[in-house]
Structure 1
Amino acid sequence: MTERTINPQPAEETTGNVTLHDILRMVAANWYWFVISAAVCLGAAYYYLASTPRIYSRTATILVKDSRKGGDTDLAAFSDLAGFQNRRSVDNEVFILQSRRLMSEVVRRLGLTTDYSVRDRLRTRDLYGQSPLRVRFIDETEDLSAELTVTPLPDGRLRLSDFDDGFLPKSERRTQIVVESGDTAATPVGKVVVERTPYLTPAYEGVPVRVRKRSLGSATSAYRNAVKCDVANKQASVVTVTMSNTVPRRAEEVIDALVAVYNEDAVEDKRRISVVTSDFIRARLDVIGRELGDVDRGIEELKRSNRMIDLQSEAARNVSESSRYKAEGLSLENQIAVARFVSDYLRDPAHAGELIPMAASVASETVAAQIDRYNEAILTRSRLLANGSEQNPVIGEMDRELAAVRRSILASLDSHIATLTLQRDAMRGEEATADDRIAAMPSQEKAMLGIARQQKIKEELYLYLLNKLEETQLNYAVAESNARIIDTAYGSPLPVSPRATMILSIALVVGLAIPFGLLYLVGMLDTTIRGRKDIEEHVSAPFLGDIPYHEGGDERGVAVREAGRDPLSEAFRMLRSNMTFMNVSAGNGIRSVLFTSTNPHAGKTFVAVNLAATLAMAGKRVLLVDLDFRRHALSSQLGHGGSKHGLTAYLAGTTDNADALIRPSGIHDGLDVIYAGTQPPNPAEMLLSERLDRLVGELKERYDFLFLDSTPAMSVADAVISDRLADLCIYIVREGVLDRRQLPDIERLYREKRFRNMCIVLNSTRVRRHGYGYGYGYGYGYGYGYGYGYGDDRHDDEKRRGIRGLLRRIFGKHKK
């Protein structure tokens, strides 16, 4: 029949090797470790909560004026000049807020270098803002670091003790000084003045107040690390300033002081720039004023030297004069030409007696009058000549008079021509002078333009600097900060740490996780057999049954009861029933059964004794034979380990009476025993004796079952030698003892048929419930020690419980 037919078992409801039921069973079996661990962790958490100061968080919100995001509203004196643009970035302002320089000023302003504290049960309570005492160090420097304890006494005085600055010897540290409030005391850490404050109440009498003076650098670093500045939104310029501290008031004051110092620093920086700018502008105004005066004097000198008032008017006047002189010159030329024509006309004899052409436009009045009189005389002569002859005396007289007039006219014309010539030359001279002045005008204009340009530049620069000087003064007067406070420091009255609920929850989880982790780690590190499934996965030999773990039994190792309904008794009855389903090559069925195992302490003697007792209780005659000549496990368990009348005596030929070897077991009337006897020097050779074969054959005729308790198969060859005597080999595997890595060796024994009708029995399994009342499955927990027989097993199982067994499992310290 197949193994399934031999030993039907309920299907395992597992996922892998570990089920939730296994975990719950492990927790239930080791509940006290979980309780102890949880209690210790909760106690540690409570101590931590009781000894750790409460931390409170405070946050302020400010709006930084970022010029990139429309926040630049300041008046900048040189905002329109390249190189003087005043641009701000919120990221840069965040770094400035976190600068060491600003925090140093905050520490100085709030006096944060000196701390006061008292011991309040397990916790140290900071007295910031409520200190009953005030200590001033007379010789205080920025690098001073010291500590002392001030204790108010009932008589109103103050005791100074426990001095320390990191270098004092123990003798000076133990110095005690009693002073009055307000007195200056010379102490090992320097001169100090201790004063009472309004917060000193009778409750502080006799209470030591610890005073710690830190250096400015260390205090600055501590508070600088505690303050965090972050940009709330990259799209905006809002900055949050956060600080966590044991005293909420101190966190609020530090944040508010930091923002105030930051704004003051920004205003002071702008005013400092305004002062420097004003000084620069005034200096430039002086220089430019002097240069502008020089330019004005140059214009004055140029106008004076050229006798001009205005360059354009002078140019127009010169052009007008030149044109006038040229016109007058042309007029004079015309008059001279006309006068010469008349003169030539009069001198020409061909025109004698003719009228003189009149050119009144050019002739002088005198000449014109003479010409008029001459023409009238010519006309008169012509009338007279028409009525007379040239010999008329009157005509003669008139001719003489006309000749005189002609001469007079010629003289007047010559004089007039000379006068006109002089006037013409004068006009040409004036015209040339005007032309020279006109020719000199471009040079004068160029010089004037250069001077005017310098004047204009100087004037514009002078006016610009005057305007910027006023703007600078205005900037100084209305200088504003770079940030606007949206919310001053605020926060919840509840501490942000330590969070009691979270810490206690974590402590509880850790307290439960530690034993679970250790037990699970032990289970992971455990390479021993943990259940039937391990055997079925690695060994193809038939599985005959499993024996649950059991504590108790009598001194002979008998744990089954004839009418017992306990799991152990039922297990052996099931094992007895499964034996009948084994196919045996011999036609007479199973008569002799060999018990062996891989290593000692597998419990094969315990299984053999209790299975034999179960068969005897069923009415069978059973004989137990101790074939372990080396340790006499069966004989020792039954109290005859030192018996000299045993099987070895028969095999050695000392006795031939087989009946003398058989002894009643005292367990049941149907159960007898043959003890091993004296330990021989050659157990293996003795087991090869033919006398043993004859004895076994004879005993098979007399008993229903012959149980041969042999040695471990992997330790010595005795079990393999004894296999020839058996119809069935029950190979005992103990859960929690046999290493799973040895299962391939058992499989090899089965496949190589080293044992006849080999089958497996799993011993010492952990019991778990099944539908019909009980069952056997995997067991996680403490390791088992090896036992040889039930008595040893029980001792080992007791030792595996507790922390010693746990350590044995972790470090592999199994009993060999």
Structure 2
Amino acid sequence: MENETIQYENSIQSDNFNGLKYFLSRCLYHWPLFLIGILITTGIAYYNIRKAKPSYQASAKILVNNGKPSGESNALEKLNVTDASKGIDNEIEILKSRPIVSQAVNDLDLWVTYEESGKYYQKDVYATSPIRFRLSNKAKIKENQVFEIIVLANNRFVLLKSDGTVLNASFNNILKNSFGEWKLDTTKYTTQYIGKKIRITLSNPDAIAGNYQGKISIAAAATGSNLLDLTVSDEVPERGKAFLTALIKNYIAATKENKNQATANALKFLNNRLATITQELNEAEKKTAGYKSSNNFTDISAKGGAYLGNVQSNDAKLAELNIQLDLLSGIENYVNSARNDDNAPVTTGISDPSLGALVGQLSTAIQQRNKLLSTTPESNPIFDPINKQIKYLKDAIKETIRGVRTSLLTTKRQLEANNSQFESSFKEVPAQEREFVGMTRQKSLKEDQFLYLSQQRETIALNYASTLSDVQVVDEPHDAGLTPSKAPVILTAAFLLGLILPAGFVYGRNAIKNQIIDKREIENTTNTPVITEVNYEEDNSLKSILSRNGNILGEQIRELRTRLVYLHQKKPKGRVTLFTSSTSGEGKTFISSNLAVAIAASGRKTIILELDLRKPKVSKTFDLNPEYLGISDFLSGQVNDIKTIIQTTSIRPNMFVIGAGTLPDNPSELLENYRMQEMLDLLKTEYDDILLDTPPVHLVTDSLILAELCDVTLYVVRQGYTSKEELDYIKRMSKEKRFPKLNIVFNGVQNNKYGSGYHYDNSYYTQNKKKKSIKSAFKDLLDRF
């Protein structure tokens, strides 16, 4: 069992190898197709490479700090106003955001391009343009506008209109068009372009911004690093550098604006609180002074002083807690508010630094979203990630507020309990002193709050006056050279495509085609040997076999004659060979007739029987009278002497034919007549070889009736004609042994068309060689396909 498995696996590997070898041989045969494919694909690739515009890289490096410039005080860390932690990924997205990129595009008027005609493409002359387009109104260009001008002199130009007319105009003069009022300004390069044509293209700024968003590349220099590498590709290196410069400038301005806005909000809050505290402090001071004056009160007792000191310290802590609780409420209202404005709440004095950081990130995200809303509809998918970020930050802030508030309320309850203890111990002090201590306590509380808020305001005001950017330019934008050429990759891909496409054609042609192309298909499917291959012959006559000059077809028929000897086991006389096929037109009559002539030429007495009683063709092939009495007449009993139906041929003296005779209505029934056996028995005694030309077996049963009377069966299959579905039928016939010694003749082989891997050299058979004409060579080339 193990040996059988190994043999089976080896057989599969051998079949796979042979299949690959056969496929490669067909590809080699069709080498002109591969050459044409390579020339076409590489030619197109080369043309596109030459036509492609050059691309240059502009690069820069910036350092994004963690939110606080060096030298800030510890007080600012407590305030958390400008200490929002900057995630480097967020900063990259901000740098590439549409508002900042759009601002850079508009600052440089990158939505206007200037081009002159080049050899392969329109050359962009941004750096040396002789003109600058100025749009008077601020309306955006919605659709691309293209027009051409010719510079006449330093002060004049010609505008070429789309309708073919021209307009003479002067530089700096305002012109009107469908997109508004505009003018052209001269540059220092104007004189260099006199007489030259310049194409001006106006594009939608939003589309250009989106284009630059796709071209710019921003990445951290290393994992965890705040150093960012900025790169942009552009046809003009100067434009790439200018774009990066404007982009960095707008990003720095945006970061300063965010910090200033947060600081301004803090100052506004502190000023409002200070105004309220100042008023309350003044009232407390007046009340204390009036009480002392009216009651001639001079000093507080030791017990009252101790109480006042304890309660003042406790009240200061309570006041700070209340401020933090108020701030938490403000932040909570901001997060829960349906309005997403840029006025972030103040986080001054909140003890938890993470809350301040989260609020800062939320404020930045909301600002980004509001800027996008000014240029982009809210339904745009670009809002999906930023909306998700805002929702995440809000949920995180709410969770943090709950934790901080719980802690603050616990501390507040403890401080209020302390005050209750102090007040219970102070009840023994006289009422007048207790009232005065209460007034002094309130005055001291207001003074502490006023002092604390004043200190914070001064610190923040100082920071507001000297706000520094968190962004530092490490490497100014510069030209980084040409973008690495993709020409080798493109040419290699084109070359491979030039091989793959023809290979796919060669493989697919035979795979899709439903006709039999290769003899391996026959042998592998039917398990029946192919005894010989016979080349295609346009002329169905017997000229090839009768020709004295050697030719391939004649030699192939003679080879079949030799193989037939061994199939009959060298039987000397009375050999009966049956010829059939699956369907009409596969060439069984052609093969049987030529083989009969070849056998007769070897000196053997040969006769061929025209047993296709429905569509006889043998008589016509041998140029005999089709109305002559024949097989049907003998089988029906109208003729008793077999010699009367045998016809001689002019081809060979030992070559004879028995025609079909009168076409019968019941050919199958006639063939089942005992006289058929009698006919063959008589012929075997007189003839060396008896060839039976029968009808297609898959159409009628005549061949199966005659099969029992024969020694050898030759089944004709025609290349490019016989359907692959017939192979299963042949396999079944072979398995059931319906035909004796079944062998297949592969007819109509066209190596020059199908490249089946079996090629014959004509030079051996050709005596007079003629030089092929170009027309003939071209025809031979086309015949391959």
Normalising by structure 1, we get a TM-score of 0.67
Counterpart residue type for residue 192 of structure 1: W
Distance 1:237 1:27, change over 3 A: same
Partner in structure 1 of residue 442 of structure 2: 454
- The answer as to 2:623 corresponding to 1:645 is no
Where does structure 2 lack aligned partners over 5 or more consecutive residues? Answer: 1-10, 306-425, 760-776
Partner in structure 1 of residue 281 of structure 2: 292
Distance 1:636 1:123, change over 3 A: farther
Kept in 2, the 8 Å contact 1:594–1:709? The answer is: yes
- The answer as to 2:224 corresponding to 1:235 is yes
Partner in structure 1 of residue 555 of structure 2: 569
Distance 1:579 1:469, change over 3 A: same
Q: Distance in 1 between matches of 2:541 and 2:193?
A: 72
CA-CA distance at 1:26 after TM superposition: 1.0
Distance 1:512 1:531, change over 3 A: closer
- The answer as to 2:537 corresponding to 1:556 is no
Q: Distance in 2 between matches of 1:506 and 1:780?
A: 32
In structure 2, which of residues 227, 233, 240 is the aligned counterpart of residue 251 of structure 1?
240
Distance 1:544 1:534, change over 3 A: closer
- The answer as to 2:704 corresponding to 1:716 is no
Partner in structure 2 of residue 196 of structure 1: 186
Distance 1:525 1:470, change over 3 A: same
Counterpart residue type for residue 490 of structure 2: I
CA-CA distance at 1:527 after TM superposition: 4.7
Partner in structure 1 of residue 97 of structure 2: 99
Superposed CA deviations along residues 408-437 of structure 1, whole A, max 9, x for unmatched, are xxxxxxxxxxxxxxxxxxxxxxxxxxxxxx
Superposed CA deviations along residues 736-759 of structure 1, whole A, max 9, x for unmatched, are 443343334334434555444444
Distance 1:134 1:579, change over 3 A: same
Look up the SS of the partner of 1:594 in the other structure: strand
Distance 1:482 1:457, change over 3 A: same
Q: Distance in 2 between matches of 1:288 and 1:544?
A: 112
Kept in 1, the 8 Å contact 2:217–2:230? The answer is: yes
Aligned-pair identity in percent equals 25
Partner in structure 1 of residue 51 of structure 2: 51
CA-CA distance at 1:631 after TM superposition: 3.3
Partner in structure 1 of residue 170 of structure 2: 180
Counterpart residue type for residue 41 of structure 1: T
CA-CA distance at 1:481 after TM superposition: 1.7
Partner in structure 2 of residue 4 of structure 1: none
- The answer as to 2:533 corresponding to 1:547 is yes
Distance 1:508 1:226, change over 3 A: same
Report the number of matched residues.
633
Once the two structures are overlaid, the 10-residue window that deviates more, 186-195 or 547-556, is 547-556
Kept in 2, the 8 Å contact 1:597–1:733? The answer is: yes
Look up the SS of the partner of 1:599 in the other structure: coil
Q: Distance in 2 between matches of 1:84 and 1:256?
A: 25
Once the two structures are overlaid, the 10-residue window that deviates more, 189-198 or 147-156, is 147-156
In structure 2, which of residues 631, 643, 663 is the aligned counterpart of residue 658 of structure 1?
643
Q: Distance in 1 between matches of 2:179 and 2:283?
A: 71
Map 1:7-22; keep pairs closer than 5 Å.
14-16=14-16, 19-22=19-22
In structure 2, which of residues 240, 251, 257 is the aligned counterpart of residue 262 of structure 1?
251
Where does structure 1 lack aligned partners over 5 or more consecutive residues? Answer: 1-10, 164-172, 317-437, 769-775, 782-797, 807-816
- The answer as to 2:472 corresponding to 1:501 is no
Kept in 2, the 8 Å contact 1:529–1:739? The answer is: yes
Q: Distance in 1 between matches of 2:124 and 2:190?
A: 15
Partner in structure 2 of residue 134 of structure 1: 132
Kept in 2, the 8 Å contact 1:61–1:488? The answer is: yes
CA-CA distance at 1:492 after TM superposition: 4.4
Once the two structures are overlaid, the 10-residue window that deviates more, 559-568 or 740-749, is 559-568
Q: Distance in 1 between matches of 2:532 and 2:460?
A: 102
Kept in 2, the 8 Å contact 1:573–1:614? The answer is: no
CA-CA distance at 1:486 after TM superposition: 3.5
Distance 1:661 1:554, change over 3 A: same
Q: Distance in 1 between matches of 2:71 and 2:226?
A: 14
Kept in 2, the 8 Å contact 1:528–1:740? The answer is: yes
Look up the SS of the partner of 2:175 in the other structure: strand
When Rg is computed on C-alpha atoms for both structures, the one with the higher figure is 1
Partner in structure 2 of residue 810 of structure 1: none
Q: Distance in 2 between matches of 1:158 and 1:315?
A: 95
Map 1:22-37; keep pairs closer than 5 Å.
22-37=22-37
Kept in 1, the 8 Å contact 2:567–2:741? The answer is: no
Kept in 1, the 8 Å contact 2:75–2:459? The answer is: yes
Once the two structures are overlaid, the 10-residue window that deviates more, 486-495 or 597-606, is 486-495
Partner in structure 1 of residue 321 of structure 2: none
Once the two structures are overlaid, the 10-residue window that deviates more, 476-485 or 285-294, is 285-294
Once the two structures are overlaid, the 10-residue window that deviates more, 229-238 or 463-472, is 229-238
Distance 1:242 1:256, change over 3 A: same
Map 1:336-485; keep pairs closer than 5 Å.
442-485=430-473
Kept in 1, the 8 Å contact 2:30–2:784? The answer is: no
Superposed CA deviations along residues 54-110 of structure 1, whole A, max 9, x for unmatched, are 34444444332346xx99976686542488863433233233223332223212211
Partner in structure 1 of residue 723 of structure 2: 739
- The answer as to 2:475 corresponding to 1:487 is yes
CA-CA distance at 1:471 after TM superposition: 2.0
CA-CA distance at 1:297 after TM superposition: 3.4
Kept in 2, the 8 Å contact 1:711–1:719? The answer is: yes
Partner in structure 2 of residue 311 of structure 1: 300
Kept in 1, the 8 Å contact 2:531–2:743? The answer is: no
Kept in 1, the 8 Å contact 2:645–2:659? The answer is: no
CA-CA distance at 1:265 after TM superposition: 1.5
CA-CA distance at 1:22 after TM superposition: 1.0
Superposed CA deviations along residues 754-811 of structure 1, whole A, max 9, x for unmatched, are 444444444456889xxxxxxx996699xxxxxxxxxxxxxxxx9x9988997xxxxx
Kept in 2, the 8 Å contact 1:616–1:622? The answer is: yes
In structure 1, which of residues 514, 517, 523 is the aligned counterpart of residue 510 of structure 2?
523
Partner in structure 2 of residue 621 of structure 1: 605
CA-CA distance at 1:705 after TM superposition: 0.8
- The answer as to 2:40 corresponding to 1:40 is yes
Distance 1:571 1:457, change over 3 A: farther
